[in-house]
Amino acid sequence: MTGRLSTLRAFALGLLTGGLYLAGTLYWLSTVMSHYGDINIAGAIAINAAFIAYLALYPALFAVIMRRLTSVFGVSAFAVAPFVWTATELGRMYVFTGFPWVLLGYSQSSVLPIAQAASVAGVFGVSALVVSVSAALAGVVVARAWKPAAIVIACVMLIAVWGNARAKGAQLTREGQPLRVGIVQPNVPEEEREAPGRGPEILQREISLIRQVAAEKLGLIVLPESSLPPLEEYPDVARSVRQTVRETGAPTLLGSDQYEWRIANGQRAVDKSFNAAFMLRPDGTTAAVYRKMHLVPWGEYVPLKRWLTFVGPLVQAIGSGFDAGDTMTLLPVGPHQVSTAICYEIIYPEMVRQSVVLGSELLTTITNDSWFGPSSAPYQHFEQAAMRAIEEGRYLVRSANTGVSGIVDPYGHVIARTDIFHPAAIAGDVRLLTGRTPYSLVGDVFAYASAILTAALLLMASRARPTSGD
């Protein structure tokens, strides 16, 4: 019974820790569901609390695994804590389609000497580095394990020295072909977008910002997610936009919905709808369309909506939702290929890596963060996007409807950045790159190796006699 209680206590402490960690970073989901999902605030808080409790199961699992390993191997098991934590983060990335928002490694996205480790082992490697420091401190407190702590500190210092030299050297900023990029941030809150009769005014605002930034003699203009109504269904809007693109002479990336139709009972009806990104050529014609592949739970679809009957208002507000695209489509800019990630697709490292594997020379991400309101979420989203630039050794261009928009270089330096809830038209210089970082070559090998190591250690622990009565 004592051992069982110890395990339960580890689970409870892990759940509490995870709950505090995630509640502090996902608190804004309650407001989103209440404001846009037509759910009273108490119900929204309850749903968010349940979601956070689910996500907190991963830190709880980490605590239980570490409880088991320390009971068998003693304090020396602290050495594998970084790998166990990484294994649980990998699970959060994929289980039930995943929700890897604010993984631990993102805490270092602005600490550039440490963040450079992502170019080798991805954000999971940075997470492991953070946990290694925590585990070393725990070893000192629990067992006066000064030598392991000294080794960890020395390793972190070596990584920081290397990372600082890498970020300052910034070799990639002198390679590749230069390209001047413009970003449009129209600042259209959802309330304004949905207000009757505001469409023409919003369109003119966006066209004005396009023309404003086009004065910079650009090679690419980027507009945010859902910046325009479906071009194929609104010919007047399409004509205005295509004409504006012809006037600027710059390829233009913009977000809009795209439909596939079917005939039902002799009438035309929507068969599938996609959240899409359109690349327009300098002559205004469509060069390529990318359809969003990873949809947002609670925003673009409701998980398990057949069983979650109590979230009926949210289901109704979202409607039938979007369909997921199935192809990583690259977008041409002259003879070059660029890629885009729509909204929170940018927090999936492997999706972005796949675009680089296929030949993307520039990362872009378009999003509509107006849902988040004046919370910390837009800033969290931007910091997570910046980590992709370091991982892939690519410039990243981000256009957000209400901000934060900006440009990040391959080392995480922010070249340009806007405030939230202000219209903006900014420009900056990037480079089209073809080189590959170690991470872009091998992907999440470190994370999968951590999962295999964790499974192997648990198997060994199951066959061993505990040293402390578990």
CB atoms within 10 A of CB 120: 18
> Which of these is catalytic: 89, 216, 225, 345?
225
Measuring CA to CA, which residue among 168, 170, 172 is closest to residue 160? 168
Taking the C-alpha atoms of residue 124 and residue 121, their distance in angstroms, rounded to an integer, is 7
Strand partners, 255: 277
Strand order of the β-sheet with 363-367 is 331-333, 336-342, 363-367, 396-400, 406-408, 414-417
Q: Is 292 a catalytic residue?
A: yes
Q: Is 225 a catalytic residue?
A: yes
Sign of the torsion formed by the C-alpha atoms of 49, 52, 58 and 59:
negative
Measuring CA to CA, which residue among 436, 433, 443, 438 is closest to residue 350? 443
Q: Which residues neighbour 228 within 8 Å (Cβ) at sequence distance 6 or greater?
A: 203, 206, 237, 241, 254, 255, 256
Structure tokens that stand for 447 in this block = 């994370």
> Which of these is catalytic: 292, 345, 361, 392?
292
Strand order of the β-sheet with 267-280 is 286-291, 267-280, 252-264, 220-222, 177-185, 424-432
Is residue 46 a contact partner of residue 438, using CB atoms and an 8 Å limit?
no
Taking the C-alpha atoms of residue 18 and residue 88, their distance in angstroms, rounded to an integer, is 12
Taking the C-alpha atoms of residue 198 and residue 440, their distance in angstroms, rounded to an integer, is 44
Which residue type sits at 265? N
Is residue 317 a contact partner of residue 38, using CB atoms and an 8 Å limit?
yes
Q: Which residues are catalytic?
A: 225, 292, 343
